[in-house]
Structure 1
Amino acid sequence: MKPAYQELIQTVKLLPGTAYEKRERDIQYLMELKTENLLFPYYTEAGLNGRLNYKLTDVHWGWDSPLSQIRGTFTGHWLSAAARIYQETSNMELKAKADHIVAEIARCQQTNGGEWAFPIPEKYLYGVKKGQHFWAPQYVCHKTMMGLLDMYQFAGNQQALDIIKKCADWFLRFTDDISRETMDMMMDIEETGGIMELWADLYAVTKDPKHLELMKRYERPKLTTPLSLGKDVLTNMHANTTIPEIHGCARAYEVTGEDRYRKIVENYWDFAVAKRGTFATGGQTNGEIWTPMLKQSARLSELNQEHCTVYNMIRLADYLFRWTGDAVYLDYIEQNIENGLFAQGFWQARCQDTVCDPAVPDTGIVAYFLPLAAGSQKKWGSKTEDFWCCHCTLVQANARYREFIYYKNDTELTVAQYMPSELCTDFQGTQVKIKQTDFDLCGDCIEIKDIAMAIEDRPNYNKMCFEVSAEDPVGFSVKFRIPWWAKGDMQITVNGEPVAYTEENHFAVLTRKWENDTVTVTIPKGITCWPLPDEKDTVAFLDGPVLLAGLVSEERILFGNINQPETLIKPYHERQWVQWMPAYKTVNQQMGFYLKPIKDIGKEHYTVYFPVKNTGRP
């Protein structure tokens, strides 16, 4: 049986908007990659491609190359993304490709003796058990099983579940004689990824006690024990090794109900986010490690905000919101989607923005890091030459946007993210459909409309429209998130009439009988200066939740008042055809420059943080 939250997300579909466009590029990338290359390391390990004549240009390179010790990792992420996208879009071509890959992994498993189904040799794991250094073999195994389990849960592939059960039997025997000291040593010398979470997920499906035992064996006490006691062990520690381990504790709490696991997760969040502070992007890390608490000025570099960390911390926030209902986690998810996932994956230039062949627009697949030093430039990975870990989380992240938009229980629906989408669900046995779209202010720029002339300047609000339709009138509450960046009270209308709402813990709550109703939600916004915690006069600029980057290749001192951002920047190039544009420019400065959302930055040099002298005009 699927958990309630999983049943809900499988009824959500994205509608045209930024997330939809990113997902479509994800599909294109998944389909573009050759099946034989995705299976190459599995065939190699099973001895099934010894007579095949591969040209050097026909295989994956980088971290997925034939000699890489983590070859095949990407294929597990590919399966996970394909399964989730198929469930949303019913793309049968994608499903057929994914089902074929599952069948071939099953064939490799059988050739390997009936249990081992992985793209690397078993000796890698036996070597780690002896204290030898191999590059994260259990991490590789986790990704294969993760992709297979998603193929079962989201694409209905029973064969995928059968493969995992046999893999679990291998891991049970492998760990039978491992002492706690040896397991601690193994976890210190190699990443295990989210393998603890995988065993918890598998146990939730099978209810087999041996899968619960594997979950317990793969807890990392050297991390979880001090966290459970309220001790911070994160400063200067590798972030993305630990986050998936905490996912394991989160899922363990859900499948066992043990409060100890929940305390570990909540303390981790407290130390990683609440007390440590974030960059203006909403993200963290420099050189893949957590920065010191509230000390970021010396950690701005070319290596900020690893994409994997962004994705996995969004997932952690999702766990915590489902448990607590606290809107702070939804604010975190929004800021990290806007300035992380959108900024670091599937960028595509418009030809009017760059000098390019209209038939081949300039693109970027994934940026491993999001540099935040002055004069930074994103470094985009290629389609088949790199296959960093962030290529892996790229395809997964862009398959999962719909999962963070809505949450519900028996009596209320929470609108967590303002993202064009459609939800089909039920309340009290009555089918309910909710369609969320961006509110169209002016429509076609050729058609003469009074509203187009009435709204002369770029609106200082975000506005969404919700069409609610029910088979029969049914009562329930809708909770609209009041975001941290709102510059005043939200305005809500139902069928064109303003309505009062109850404000509860940063949500605007409407309780009524719904049938065929149209709701508009207007959120006032403006510019916020986001200072470095240890340099209060050095700030970044956010337009609502969206980080603005200055198009300059060096640090610039600005003059003005950080409590009055309008003394520093103002709108620029407001309107283009039917769209309001998000660009800004500086005002009252010795040398002016332009700013635009960091998610729209492709290959330009940019600067995010600016020292501000509060002395007025220069």
Structure 2
Amino acid sequence: MRRLVIGLFALGSFCIHAQQQVEVFPLDQVSVTTGVFKQASETDFNYIQKLNADRLLVPFLREAGLKPKAASYTNWENTGLDGHILGHYVSALSMYLASTNDAKAEELLDYTLSELQGVQEANGNGYIGGIPGSSDLWQEIKSGKIEAGSFSLNSKWVPLYNIHKTFAGLKDAWVHAGKGDAKDMLIKLTDWFVDVTKDLSDAQVQDMLRSEHGGLNEVFAEVYKITDDKTYLELAKRFSEKALLNPLSENKDILTGMHANTQIPKFIGFERISQLSHDSIYHNSALHFYNNVTQHRSLSIGGNSVREHFNPIEDFSSVLVGEQGPETCNTYNMLKLSKLLYEDTGDNKYIEFYERGLYNHILSSQNPNGGFVYFTPMRPGHYRVYSQPETSFWCCVGSGLENHTKYNELIYAKKEDTLYVNLFIPSKVNWKEKQATLTQNTNFPEEAKTELVWQSKKKTNATLKLRYPTWVKPDELKLFINKKLLTIETQPGHYIFITRKWKKGDTIEMQLPMHLGVEQIPDKSGYVSVKYGPIVLAAVTGEDNQVGLFADDSRGGHIANGPFLPLTEAPMFVSENLQSILKNIKPVEGKPLTFSTGDMVYPNQFKGLVLQPFYKIHEKRYAIYFKNETPKSLAKMQQALEKKQKAEAYLRAITIDYVAPGEQQPESDHGIESEQSNNGVHQNRHWRDASGWFSYNMKNKEHKAKALRVTYFGGDTGRTFNILINGMQISEVTLDGSKGNVFYDVDYEIPSDLTKEKDILNVRFEAKAGSVAGGIYGVRLISETKN
């Protein structure tokens, strides 16, 4: 055995802004060579090639007064968010081109950029966008007319979010693919935006930012980096929402009830601004947000939120019972923030979370045959829905196009004479400054080891910093250089660093023993997830009744609306404690990463249930979280759960359509219109009210609607309003506060002549003069009336 002095490297998570500690390699200097990530990247590119650029370009040509070359896509692409996918498409092509040097990707990218250049020239003012009614919208904004809501701006569906995708696509085409035309278009587009907003007061800008706006501040900061013109840095700061920046910089948790993916990109922008301006307020805000989400709001797969919103940190029950679990876009953006914070600190904890999200959420969100996932339900026994190229144009399709093109972005990093090895993915990095390459040969996680091979023409002094992951126990990692075992003193969560003169063919082998572990859901409510090393294990529970498994182009097509497996029939562990769970799980011989749960699982049909990596399970019902009960508590739990389950099943059976007022996507999916309306959160439940009115278009499936069930809060008082359906009043409502501190439902019978042969029912809540309509906490069409 040869003893070598091995160092320890770790930086604490201080709130003082740090200058950039490490630099990630450009995508064109790292290639993923084999394995599941390589396959996922190729699957993604096959999906990209099935998209028709001319159809994606339709909104841009239309708004520029040019004749489209094809028909527009449907779904979100022709119902108000027209054009948002094209920006993601350009970003994905740019990153895939940089990562693979694929000629077809370059051909598609060049064509799309040339068409966008023609759009910009036709507009004549620098503008590129597909937002319906663009000219009138931006003229209104320029004149100071601003009517902002969380999901709308001047009656348009999140136009700032939409145009951010165009900005980001052009930025990526320059930064990753080196396309000079994209750089020129980006700067002209930013100058147009400066002109549109220059006469607005800071208060007007902050009001406008109440509407979802993606990462506008981040992309403006990038334009500053590209041009070194501080005009754009000031624009980035001006378009940073102070209602989020300031409280989070002081570590105040105001996130519960907020639309999750509206917020995450803002903090990516805060961190990018801090990197470029060394402003500690922006850095502290991003850091505190990140710590809050990753430590208190994230599940074992790395995802967060329910129904797109941050749930209370002390109550994850809604996450476990619903079909709308973590949204893929959220994790896409959290990994972006992880990457920036890692650059700033060099701290391994950001790689740990990145790895968690990468394997267990991002990799799992793409069907191996193509198609992206929006929601990943945590409810045991449910399933996911996959997009299709001709029908599905959700936000998670856009981010999905990008996700699988950049698996190479954080495998390695560098600083001066040091190269960091962060992730165990088969790959090759070209370290230009050292005229050297490092190749990583591994079949991780199928095998718990990796090999690194150094190549250079001459001997080279350098330091390699190798990540000692937290999922390897202390003193268990084995390290060999040229087959000689080294003694190391570094502990998990840090970097092993080796400084020497490297020569061609030098080989490092890292043995990374993995172990089973049990992770409780964050609220410690008795549900657990099983992991093997960093890999989340899940179980197939069946494949029946996966309604809408491959999405159509309906507005709700991304939601797995098939029947629930009753929680009383879902697999659960019966054991005295967490350690006894681990003792009962045994590896399946000859099948890596596969385990049997033996007789520990209830009900009986699940005894011997097999656990395997979640990212390998597709087109099946599954369980990631398992309720853990002791033998004594099982009977009592089953009785309570069965009663709750019956009520839940009955409600689902009579529900024809449902809107969650105040929640962005459900309201958008139901065509909300409003005047003088507000929304918020009370006792962790979303509401909407209005001194004017608001309305939804609800689906009357099979014309079975008989009643409207509305949820109120008992303490609301002094509110009188009318409820109308298709323009006819069905009730006058007065809320007098007499019900107290509870939520309650009222059913309103709908006259049959209003529902007969009507596919859509327009439900409108209209305040009486001088009063308020609502608050409304739930609106449900049901097929039964109370007798």
Q: Scaled by the length of structure 1, what TM-score is found?
A: 0.87
The superposition leaves residues 219-263 of structure 1 with CA deviations (integer Å, 9 ceiling, x where unpaired) of 111110111222111111111111111111111111112222111
Q: 2:405 aligns with which of 396, 399, 406?
A: 399
Higher strand share: 2
* Shift of residue 501, structure 1, vs aligned partner: 2.9
1:481 corresponds to: 467
What is the rounded CA distance, in whole Å, between the counterparts of 2:26 and 2:175 in structure 1?
A: 13
Q: 2:76 aligns with which of 53, 57, 63?
A: 63
* Shift of residue 583, structure 1, vs aligned partner: 2.4
Secondary structure of 2:352's aligned partner: helix
Q: Are 1:464 and 2:450 an aligned pair? A: yes
8 A Cα contact 1:124 1:137, kept in partner: no
Q: 2:160 aligns with which of 131, 138, 155?
A: 138
Q: Are 1:222 and 2:243 an aligned pair? A: yes
1:33 corresponds to: 51
8 A Cα contact 2:21 2:345, kept in partner: no
Q: Which protein is bigger by CA-based radius of gyration?
A: 2
Equivalent positions of 1:80-91 (< 5 A) are 80-91=91-102
2:418 corresponds to: 412
Aligned pair count? 568
* Shift of residue 169, structure 1, vs aligned partner: 1.8
Q: Are 1:529 and 2:518 an aligned pair? A: yes
What is the rounded CA distance, in whole Å, between the counterparts of 1:3 and 1:90 in structure 2?
A: 29
8 A Cα contact 1:528 1:565, kept in partner: no
What is the rounded CA distance, in whole Å, between the counterparts of 2:197 and 2:625 in structure 1?
A: 49
Q: Are 1:77 and 2:88 an aligned pair? A: yes
Q: Which moved more, 1:122-131 or 1:18-27?
A: 122-131
Structure 1 residues 70, 503: closer, same or farther in 2, change over 3 A? same
Q: Are 1:432 and 2:452 an aligned pair? A: no
CA RMSD of aligned residues (A): 2.3
Structure 1 residues 3, 483: closer, same or farther in 2, change over 3 A? closer
1:287 corresponds to: 307
What is the rounded CA distance, in whole Å, between the counterparts of 1:500 and 1:397 in structure 2?
A: 38
2:386 corresponds to: 380
8 A Cα contact 2:43 2:370, kept in partner: no
8 A Cα contact 1:282 1:339, kept in partner: yes
Structure 1 residues 8, 364: closer, same or farther in 2, change over 3 A? closer
8 A Cα contact 2:271 2:286, kept in partner: yes
Q: Which moved more, 1:307-316 or 1:510-519?
A: 510-519
The superposition leaves residues 184-240 of structure 1 with CA deviations (integer Å, 9 ceiling, x where unpaired) of 22111x211111111100110111232223212211111101112221111111111
Q: Which moved more, 1:168-177 or 1:561-570?
A: 561-570
What is the rounded CA distance, in whole Å, between the counterparts of 2:385 and 2:408 in structure 1?
A: 27
The superposition leaves residues 275-308 of structure 1 with CA deviations (integer Å, 9 ceiling, x where unpaired) of x242111221111112222432342231111000
* Shift of residue 86, structure 1, vs aligned partner: 0.9
Secondary structure of 2:490's aligned partner: strand
1:261 corresponds to: 282
8 A Cα contact 1:194 1:245, kept in partner: yes
2:63 corresponds to: 45
Q: 2:616 aligns with which of 600, 607, 611?
A: 600
What is the rounded CA distance, in whole Å, between the counterparts of 1:22 and 1:150 in structure 2?
A: 21
- List gaps (5 residues or longer) in structure 1: 349-362, 441-457
The residue type equivalent to 2:594 in the other structure is A
The residue type equivalent to 1:594 in the other structure is V
Q: Are 1:517 and 2:495 an aligned pair? A: no
Secondary structure of 1:280's aligned partner: coil
Secondary structure of 2:156's aligned partner: coil
1:500 corresponds to: 487
8 A Cα contact 1:532 1:539, kept in partner: yes
Equivalent positions of 1:147-546 (< 5 A) are 147-188=169-210, 190-274=211-295, 276-300=296-320, 301-345=322-366, 347-348=367-368, 363-426=369-432, 429-438=433-442, 462-488=448-474, 489-503=476-490, 505-515=493-503, 516-535=505-524, 537-546=526-535
Secondary structure of 1:302's aligned partner: coil
- List gaps (5 residues or longer) in structure 2: 1-19, 148-153, 542-564, 635-787
What is the rounded CA distance, in whole Å, between the counterparts of 1:226 and 1:509 in structure 2?
A: 38
* Shift of residue 72, structure 1, vs aligned partner: 1.0
Structure 1 residues 564, 277: closer, same or farther in 2, change over 3 A? farther
What is the rounded CA distance, in whole Å, between the counterparts of 1:7 and 1:540 in structure 2?
A: 34
* Shift of residue 123, structure 1, vs aligned partner: 2.5
Structure 1 residues 614, 495: closer, same or farther in 2, change over 3 A? farther
Structure 1 residues 81, 6: closer, same or farther in 2, change over 3 A? farther
What is the rounded CA distance, in whole Å, between the counterparts of 1:174 and 1:483 in structure 2?
A: 49
The residue type equivalent to 2:168 in the other structure is M
The superposition leaves residues 304-362 of structure 1 with CA deviations (integer Å, 9 ceiling, x where unpaired) of 110000110011011111111211110100110111101112x22xxxxxxxxxxxxxx
8 A Cα contact 1:562 1:614, kept in partner: no
The residue type equivalent to 1:117 in the other structure is I
* Shift of residue 502, structure 1, vs aligned partner: 4.3
The residue type equivalent to 1:597 in the other structure is P
8 A Cα contact 1:234 1:272, kept in partner: no
Equivalent positions of 1:569-580 (< 5 A) are 569-572=585-588, 574-575=589-590, 580=591
What is the rounded CA distance, in whole Å, between the counterparts of 1:285 and 1:473 in structure 2?
A: 51
1:558 corresponds to: 573
Structure 1 residues 122, 222: closer, same or farther in 2, change over 3 A? farther
Secondary structure of 2:496's aligned partner: strand
8 A Cα contact 1:277 1:294, kept in partner: no
